[in-house]
A and B are shown apart, each in its own frame.
Chain A
Amino acid sequence: MSDKILMKGNEAAAEAAIIAGCRYYFGYPITPQNEIPEYMSKRLPEVGGTFIQAESETAAINMVFGASSTGARSMTSSSSPGISLKQEGISYLAAAQLPCVVINVSRGGPGLGNIAGSQGDYFQSTRGGGHGDYRTIVLAPYNCQELADLTLEAFDLADEYRMVVLILADGFLGQMSEPVVLPEPSGKKFNKDWAVGIGRKNKVASLILSPEDGLTKHNYVLKEVYDKVETEVRKYEEYMLDDADYLLCAYGSSARICKQAITELRNKGIKVGYFRPITLWPFPYDELLNASKGKKKILTVEMSLGQMVEDVKLAVNGSIPVDFYGIPGGMIPTPEAIIERVESYE
């Protein structure tokens, strides 16, 4: 498995899910994620799994709910408008503490938007697009290798914390081809004595009408899990920050562009590096604050009108200035635009 294979991001994610032991995929066509269901429709029957092209995104996420309630590893994928439809199911999965993986190969919005990659779903992903007090773990890969690695890890995280894990990729990442070394399964085993069908007369439910404070207690049970995740699951990458005067903060595809801008800025003698959150929830607030110490300014770069920038501001809490550069609607920020903005700070 250590050979490099040229794979599309979407296919790398799908194969990684199969390596992780996912045998149940339910989805609905939407660009730019179609390679995931297409790949699954071919591969899952080969490994004894089940693929269903559902009648809707809503049905797909609820099929995941059913499969997950048996303890089986299952997943769905979609792109932004389809992820909106899945929010109902995600809220129910969160309430019932069912593990699953949802991949969002996001596109421009709002509405039907367009089919180009975009980062306009940060709020939806990290703030919970569905109703109620809940969280999902959100992982944001920035290349095909990481998309595969994080998809594999997502299944372990989902099982460990009994949570929905969302992979927030974007259309560029899903569609690009890069060499990928397929990851090895962790081999971790998880206790699933809560599942139905194991002879325990278990209930998988989210309605708690009684006693009066039953739901409140359940909310605190969930909070305990979320607190644990906030402590234990924080991923980020720091790049050329040690001597940097300016800190770029970006995730996913935006971070790749920042990397190029950093090289060119450093050639011009401007010391700049980046902080790349990989877990968008939990957001690495403390780590970003530490990384920002001694810097003159932060420039947050996103393919949106500015969403993650709110978390960046929360992280530094006014200790240093935070600027924003972004472009919405499926356009890509250019390194030149980032360079120009940073040069204006000098």
Chain B
Amino acid sequence: MSNEEIVYKKSPSMMERETHYCPGCTHGVVHKLIAESLDELGVEDAIVVAPVGCAVLIYDYMKLDGVEAAHGRAPAVATGIKRVLSDKIVISYQGDGDLLAIGLGETIHAANRGENITVIFVNNAIYGMTGGQMAPTTMPGQKTTTSQSGRMADDVGLPIRACELINTLEKPVYIERVSCHNGANILKAKKAIKKALLNQKEGKGYSFVEVLATCPTNWGLTPKKAYDWLEDTMIPYYPLGNFRDQEV
């Protein structure tokens, strides 16, 4: 027994309960990465702002303070919290409809002010909780319940690239796009999320991590095929990598 060591354990910041997420959905992975990062940074009193969307109950899965925002308003709510509690880690966790459609104004302006918060943007190219409608990040030709013949660029335009958009602003200190469709990428995603949280802890300013994610249920794919679709379809349009790291 004495030669055995624990190499992996569940993050103490995660609750002891099952999530409501579908098989193959990557929200749970992103939650875990946030929890592990907070553990490793020694943060026990973070405040997570939940979005409207599948992750609305994120505060039920993590041992954190939670504030639930109206749809798209998470960066404004996070701003209000952080301006009062400047010593607390404040995380705005948002989906694609939340961040790029209804909340685009809040997204851009929180970034432009350089609020010292961390935004985790889960991009799964669809509205999950409402049943699979077209999102601002839905891929060209992708079938959704409101683009039943596939997204047509002539009619509704092309998907919006969040990192590139935010990268036009001066104030953000860290912008990175990662994916969590396989182990290697999950490790990279963890690194980016941890860095984004560390930046906030050190008072550096606004950090933005976009995580490419799956929604097998609304994509109509098995989990495995969903991971493949993400790699084959999303990554070519949404290139992975760091867009800004003020230290570099």
Contact = CB atoms under 8 A, between A and B. Distances in A.
Interface of A: 24, 26, 50, 52, 54-56, 58-60, 62-70, 72, 74, 88-89, 92, 96, 196-197, 199-207
7 A-B pairs with the lowest CB-CB distances in the bound complex, closest first? A66-B80, A62-B76, A205-B68, A196-B65, A55-B109, A67-B80, A63-B80
Nearest to B44: A199
Nearest to B80: A66
A74 B79 CA distance: 13
Nearest to A204: B67
A203 B66 contact: yes
Contact of A206 (B57, B68, B79, B113): B68
A168 to B, nearest CB: 23
Contacts of A64: 80
A67 B66 CA distance: 13
Instruction: Name A's interface SS.
Output: mixed
B70 A88 contact: yes
B80 A65 contact: yes
Contacts of B69: 62, 65
Given A54-B76, A88-B70, A207 B88 contact: no
Given A58-B73, A199-B45, A203-B68, A50 B81 contact: no
A108 B77 CA distance: 30
Contacts of A205: 50, 59, 66-68
Contacts, number: 115
Contact of B77 (A56, A69, A72, A207): A69
In this complex, the member of A58, A62, A66 whose beta carbon has the largest number of chain B beta carbons within 10 angstroms is A66
B73 A197 contact: no
Given A62-B106, A69-B67, A206-B68, A196 B81 contact: yes
Given A196-B67, A201-B64, A55 B56 contact: no
Given A59-B106, A62-B106, A205-B59, A52 B79 contact: yes
B66 A59 contact: no
Interface of B: 45, 47, 49-50, 56-57, 59, 63-70, 73, 76-85, 88, 105-106, 108-109, 113
Given A50-B83, A52-B79, A65 B59 contact: no
Contact of B81 (A66, A96, A207): A66
Given A56-B105, A196-B66, A202-B65, A67 B84 contact: yes
Contacts of A207: 56-57, 68
Contacts of A58: 73, 76, 105-106
Contacts of B76: 54, 58-60, 62-63, 65-66
A202 B65 CA distance: 5
A52 B81 CA distance: 13
Contacts of A56: 105
B77 A197 contact: no
